Homo-oligomer: A and B are copies of this chain.
Amino acid sequence: MCVFNLNIGTHMYEFACKLFPYNRSITGNGVRKTLKDISEILPNLSIFEIESGTKVFDWEIPDEWNCQDAYIITPNGEKICNFKENNLHIMGYSTCVDKYVSLEELQGNLFSLKDMPKAIPYITSYYERNWGFSITHRQRKKLKKGNYRVFIDSTLKRGSLSYGEIIIRSNSKFKENKEVFLSTYVCHPSMANNEISGPVVTTYLLKWLNELSDRRFNYRAIFIPETIGSIAYLSRNYKKLKKRVIAGFNVTCVGDNNNYSFLPSKNGNTLSDRVAKHVLKYHVKDFTEYSFLDRGSDERQYCSPGIDLPMASIMRTKYGEYQQYHTSLDDLNFISDKGLNGAFEVLALSIICIENNLIYKPTNLCEPQLGRYNLRNNLSTGNKLKNFGRDVVDVLAYSDGKKDLLSIAIEIKRPLWKLIPTVDKLVKTKLLIRV
């Protein structure tokens, strides 16, 4: 079981390029198209639809939104804010409109960023009917007085919210009736790090898990719209999840190559938290550790009181922490094959740690005579423990039938995944047994 030297970054980057242009929102055909593309890589993906108007906890599934076309015609006939050129030009959930407005009126429905004059900001109004256009500040400043035609050909009506779910069952003889849970969101239009990177990396993690020969745990993953999607999914599944999920990750902002970040679960000390910090510490060394107070994605739901799932986030550069965030500049240049691959590795290593986090105990009292098992050199020439495998003696000394391998790895300051060969050898020689 090893993920090193896998270079699937290229495949992931290509998949990100394919999904990038779709007009995703919390409902609509952009989501469906995205899920369909994912299911080509993951044939076992199930797609669900929840009807508009369905009650989900305190919320209601909104009407379905689709946009066919949208633009503004300037007084001198120029077509600007063209949805077909960049779907960020249209405010998410904009209602249908086709009329002439003065520049003054128009200004109330335009959104731009003074500080980032070349960026089209990402704006939505899911729960209050409205229309609007996003525009670069540079272009906005050039607009002259006069009559503007605003045209939005959208539909906002009863329909459904779509999401994908995949369940991969344990195929190990040491099968556990527990789950590892992955969640990612498919509701952002043309932005790259936040967010097409999450669905892309999750797809390839699941492809790897599908092919993995010895999975102790079941894996559950969902591709949902953020907030309303996780709430809807939880309203249908939370009792089951509470019983089964032992660890989980919200997969978001996993595409750029600038940083690694960790955001804990509310509990802060779940298996997910311990594993994520362990992997980041030994695999990438330098990472930013956020507090749950810095949260802003679906862990808000997964960690809410009464739900309390062990969901942590391993990210590259966190949402809200890079300038391009929620603008058209979070584009395919901001992410890279290296960035996606780095995130993939950290998440896959976390899963490997979870899979291998077993409890062992030695079969002997005191150290065994390691020389007899070819586990140490019989010639004693130097610094005591230094001339034979430190891992061997440490794994034997710390495996007390109570501590799990992750606790031991943390205590002996070694990455868990580098202890696996030692554990295998000790189990094979029957010096160590699984509890």
1/0 per residue, CB under 8 A from B, across A320-347: the answer is: 1000011000000000000000000000
**Chain B residues near A380 (CB, 8 Å)?**
123-126
Is A146 part of the contact surface with B, judged by Cβ < 8 Å? no
A134 to chain B, nearest CB (A): 10
Main secondary structure of the interface of A (DSSP, over half): loop
**Chain B residues near A238 (CB, 8 Å)?**
365
CB-based contact A366/B319 at 8 Å:
no
> Known: A293-B394, A307-B365, A365-B304. Contact between A371 and B58, CB under 8 A?
no
A367 to B385, CA, bound (A): 54
CB-based contact A306/B394 at 8 Å:
no
> Known: A128-B378, A384-B296, A394-B293. Contact between A366 and B123, CB under 8 A?
no
A398 to chain B, nearest CB (A): 8
Interface bin, chain A: 35 or more
Q: Which residue of chain B has the shortest Cβ distance to A297 in the bound complex?
A: B384
Q: Which residue of chain B has the shortest Cβ distance to A121 in the bound complex?
A: B381
A279 to chain B, nearest CB (A): 21
> Known: A367-B300, A400-B305. Contact between A125 and B378, CB under 8 A?
yes
A425 to chain B, nearest CB (A): 16
**Chain B residues near A386 (CB, 8 Å)?**
320
**Chain B residues near A290 (CB, 8 Å)?**
none
CB-based contact A305/B361 at 8 Å:
yes
A378 to B92, CA, bound (A): 12
Is A413 part of the contact surface with B, judged by Cβ < 8 Å? yes
Q: Which residue of chain B has the shortest Cβ distance to A320 in the bound complex?
A: B383
Is A76 part of the contact surface with B, judged by Cβ < 8 Å? no
CB-based contact B123/A379 at 8 Å:
yes
Task: Give the most central of A59, A266, A303, A305: most B CB within 10 Å.
Answer: A305
1/0 per residue, CB under 8 A from B, across A119-146: the answer is: 0010111111010000000000000000
1/0 per residue, CB under 8 A from B, across A221-262: the answer is: 000000100110011001000000000000000000000000
CB-based contact A304/B125 at 8 Å:
no
Is A111 part of the contact surface with B, judged by Cβ < 8 Å? yes
CB-based contact B366/A296 at 8 Å:
no
Q: Which residue of chain B has the shortest Cβ distance to A368 in the bound complex?
A: B58
Is A77 part of the contact surface with B, judged by Cβ < 8 Å? no
**Chain B residues near A396 (CB, 8 Å)?**
304-305
> Known: A128-B378, A365-B57, A393-B300. Contact between A383 and B326, CB under 8 A?
yes
Is A401 part of the contact surface with B, judged by Cβ < 8 Å? yes
CB-based contact B121/A58 at 8 Å:
no
**Chain B residues near A68 (CB, 8 Å)?**
none
Q: Which residue of chain B has the shortest Cβ distance to A373 in the bound complex?
A: B58
Tell me which of B230, B300, B366 contacts A301 (CB under 8 A): B366
Sort A-B residue pairs by CB-CB distance and give the 10 closest, nearest first.
A296-B384, A128-B378, A58-B368, A305-B400, A320-B383, A58-B364, A301-B366, A231-B366, A296-B385, A124-B380
Given known contacts A126-B378, A300-B367, A300-B385, what 10 new A-B pairs fall within 8 Å (CB)?
A: A58-B369, A125-B379, A127-B371, A128-B371, A297-B384, A301-B366, A303-B397, A304-B362, A304-B396, A320-B386
